[in-house]
Amino acid sequence: MTTVSDTRDANLVAIFNSDEEADHPPSWLDRIDAWATRAGDAINPILVKETRQALKSRQFVATFGLLLFASLAWTIIGSMLLMPQIYYMPSAPRLLIGYYLVLAVPMLLVVPLAAYRSLEGEVDDGTLELLSVTALSPRQVVSGKLASAALQMLLYFIALFPCVAYAYTLRGVDLPTLALLMGMLVLAGLGLTIVALFFAPVTPGRTSQITSLLAVLSILLASEFALGSLAIELIQRGNPLSFSDTLFMIVSVLAIGITVAAILLTATAAKLTPESENRSTGIRIAVLVHMFCVIAVASFAVASGQAARTNPDSLIFIPMVLSIYLVGFWALVGALMAAESPAMTPRIRRELPGTFLGRLLLTWLTPGPATGLIFSMATFTVAAAAAHWLLWQLVESSASVWIGDALEGHRLMLVLVGCYLMFALVGVRTIVGMLRWKQPVKVSVGIAAMAVVLLVMSVIPYSIQLHWNDYRQFEYSAWQFTNWIWTIERAGNNSLDGLVVYLVIALGLISFLSHLLLVGRRVLPQRLATPQRVQEEYRRMAGLEPIAEEENDPLGLGISGSKP
C-alpha cells in the first residue's frame, strides 16, 4: 500500500535524481525544462521565496478570495441596479467605480502593507542577518520584495481584468481613460510599496515599529483617499487634458516618480548595508539624477508654455514652485548628508577616485559629512541657478513690470536661503560630530539637528532682543540677521536693509570657507591599494581566472568543474 509519505519520498527522489545524466538525447520538453530552470536561476531568490510564501499564506488566499467575491458580487448587484438602462445608456462609469474600489484596496493598501510587514518580519525573526551573510546584496533584498509585491498586484489585476473589460463594453468610458486609470493604479501601488519598504524599520524595537507602522498606515490611507477621489473624477468626467498635456504629465510623473523611487530604494538598501560599506554614493547619484529630471521637467514646461504663446505671467509659478521644492529638498537631504559618519574604512578608501580629474569631479560623491555638505550646496546652487534662469527667460518674454521685480526678489531670496542653508548645514555637521564623540549616531539625527539649528538661528536673536527691549514689541534690525524667518519675510516685502544682506552673505561665506579648510585634506590622494589576493579573488569571481577542480568540489560530491 502506498502512503502519502511514500509519495512524497518518491517526489523527492524524482527531484533529487532529476540531475542524473539521461541516456537519450534531450527532447523538446527537456530543453524547455532546462530553459525554465535557467530562467528560474536568474530570478531574484527573494522573489522566489516570497512568491512561495505568499501563495501559501492565509493573507493572500483571503485577499484574493475576497477580491473575486467582491468583484463578482458587484458585477451582479451593479448590473441589477442599472437595469434596464444598462441596455440603452452608457453604464460603464458606475460599474467601473465599484471595480476601482475593489481593486484599490489590495493594490494600494494590502500589498504595500504586506511588503512592509515582510521586511519588518525579516528584522523581527532574525532572518535579515541570515540574508546579510549570503551573497545577496541589500539592493537585491529590497528589489526582491518589490518584485514580489508587483507580482501579487499583477495577479489581483489579472483577476479583475474580465470585470473591467465587461464594464468597458457597457460604454461611457473611453479606452485611453481606462488605460490611464489602470496605469495610475499600478504605478501608485508600486510607489506606495516603495514608500512602505522605505519606512520598514531595520532595527528591532517596539517604539520604532509602532511609529513607522502608523506613518505607513497614514500615508497609505491618505493616498487611497486622494487617488480614489482622482480616479472617480477621471471615470465620471473623463480626462480633461489635451493629448499633448496628458503625454507631458505622464512623462513628467514617470520621470520624477522613477527618480524618487530610485532614491527611496537606494536609501532602503543603504539602511540594510553594513557600516563598513559605501552607503552614500548610490544615494548621491540617485539624487543628482532626480535633480536633473526635476529641472528638465520644469524647463520643458516653461519652454512648451512659451512655444504655445501662453502668457509668461501665468507660467511664473513653475520656477517659483521649483525654488521652494529645492529649498525644502536640500534642507532635508543636506541635513542627512551632513550627518554621515566621517569614518572611512579601507574598503571605501580603495574605491576613491585615483586620478586628478577623478578627485576633482568625483570626490564629492564619496561618503562623509564634509563631502556631503559641499555636494549638497553645490547641487543646490546649480539647481537654484537653473530655476532663476527659467524665471529670467519668462521675464525676457514678458511685458509686465511686476515680473521684473519678481526676478530681483527671487535672486535675493535664493542668495539668502543659500547662505542660511550653508550655515545650518555646518551647524548640523558640528552638532552631529559632537554627538558622535560619545556614541554612534544615525544619519536621521541630522534632521533633528537641522531643526535645532534653524530654531536656534531664529529664536535666540529674537529672544535676546526681546529681553533687551523689556519684552515689548520691537522693529527688525541688523541684529536679527540670523533670524531667517524674519529676514526672509522682510526680503519678501522688499524692505530689507542692504547691510543685513551683506551680513547674511558673510555668514554663508565664512561657513563655506571654514568648512573648505576642513575638507581640504579630502582632495589629497587617499586612495588605498586593493591587496593582490583580494584582486585575484574578485577576478576569479568574475570568471576571469580559472578555478582549480578541487576548489570547486571540496566536499567531493562529484560536481564537474564549471569552468567557462
Partner 1 sequence: MITPAKPLPAVHSDHSVCIELRRLHRFFGNTKAVRDVSFAVSRGGVFGYIGPNGAGKTTSMRILATLDLPSYGEAFVDGFSVINDPELVRQRLGYMPDAFGTYRDVNCWEYLDFFARAYGLVGRERMRRLRWVLEFTGTRGMAEKPIRGLSKGMKQRLCLGRALIHDPAVLILDEPAAGLDPRARIELRRMIGELAGRGKTILVSSHILTELAEMCDSVGIIEQGQLLATGSVEEIQRERKQHRELVMRVLSSSAELTAELGRHHNVSNLVIDGQLVRMEFAGEVAQQAALVRELIMAGHEIAEVTARSKSLEDVFLQVTEGLVQ
Question: CA quadruple 13, 17, 18, 19: dihedral positive or negative?
Answer: positive
Of 23 and 275, which CB lies nearer to partner 1 in the complex structure? 275
29 binds partner 1 (CB under 8 A): no
Residue 318's CB is within 10 A of a number of other CB atoms, namely 20
Min separation Cβ 341 and partner 1, Å = 11
Of 48 and 82, which CB lies nearer to partner 1 in the complex structure? 48
Of 279 and 388, which CB lies nearer to partner 1 in the complex structure? 279
Min separation Cβ 481 and partner 1, Å = 40
**Residue selected from 439, 473, 493, 495 as contacting partner 1 according to rule CB under 8 A:** 439
- The span from the CA of 365 to the CA of 352, in Å, is 9
> What character string, x for contact with partner 1 (CB under 8 A) and - otherwise, covers 276-315?
xx--------------------------------------
Q: Which three cell numbers stand for residue 555?
A: 566536499
Min separation Cβ 60 and partner 1, Å = 9
Question: CA quadruple 275, 279, 281, 283: dihedral positive or negative?
Answer: negative
- Residue list 513-532, contact with partner 1 (CB under 8 A): none
DSSP secondary structure string for all residues of 186-208? HHHHHHHHHHHHHHS-SS--HHH
52 binds partner 1 (CB under 8 A): yes
Min separation Cβ 354 and partner 1, Å = 17
Which stretches of 200-316 are DSSP H helices? 206-237, 243-272, 281-307
358 binds partner 1 (CB under 8 A): no
229 binds partner 1 (CB under 8 A): no
> What character string, x for contact with partner 1 (CB under 8 A) and - otherwise, covers 70-109?
----------------------------------------
Torsion-angle region of 251 (φ positive above 0: left; ψ -120 to 50: alpha; else: beta)? alpha
Min separation Cβ 285 and partner 1, Å = 21
| 322, 390 contact by CB (below 8 A) | yes
Q: Which three cell numbers stand for residue 40?
A: 528560474
Of 130 and 361, which CB lies nearer to partner 1 in the complex structure? 130
205 binds partner 1 (CB under 8 A): no
- The span from the CA of 302 to the CA of 296, in Å, is 10
396 binds partner 1 (CB under 8 A): no
**Residue selected from 6, 10, 18, 174 as contacting partner 1 according to rule CB under 8 A:** 18
- The span from the CA of 294 to the CA of 307, in Å, is 20
Of 7 and 463, which CB lies nearer to partner 1 in the complex structure? 7
Contacts of 244 (CB under 8 A, 6+ apart): 304
- The span from the CA of 247 to the CA of 241, in Å, is 9
**Residue selected from 10, 72, 90, 129 as contacting partner 1 according to rule CB under 8 A:** 129
Q: Which three cell numbers stand for residue 331?
A: 534642507
- The span from the CA of 533 to the CA of 297, in Å, is 48
**Residue selected from 10, 361, 529, 541 as contacting partner 1 according to rule CB under 8 A:** 541
Bond before 84 cis per omega within 30 degrees: yes
> Which amino acid is it at 285?
I
Number of residues that bind partner 1 (CB under 8 A): 64
Min separation Cβ 51 and partner 1, Å = 11
Q: Exposed, middle or buried: residue 333 (CB in 10 Å: 0-12, 13-18, 19+)? A: buried
- Give Cα separations from 500 to 420, 459, 482 (angstroms): 12, 17, 9
Binding site for partner 1 (CB under 8 A): 5, 8-9, 11-12, 15-16, 18-19, 21, 34, 37-38, 41-42, 45-46, 48-49, 52-53, 56-57, 125-127, 129-136, 274-277, 345-347, 350, 438-439, 533-534, 537, 540-543, 546-548, 551-552, 554-555, 557-559, 562-564
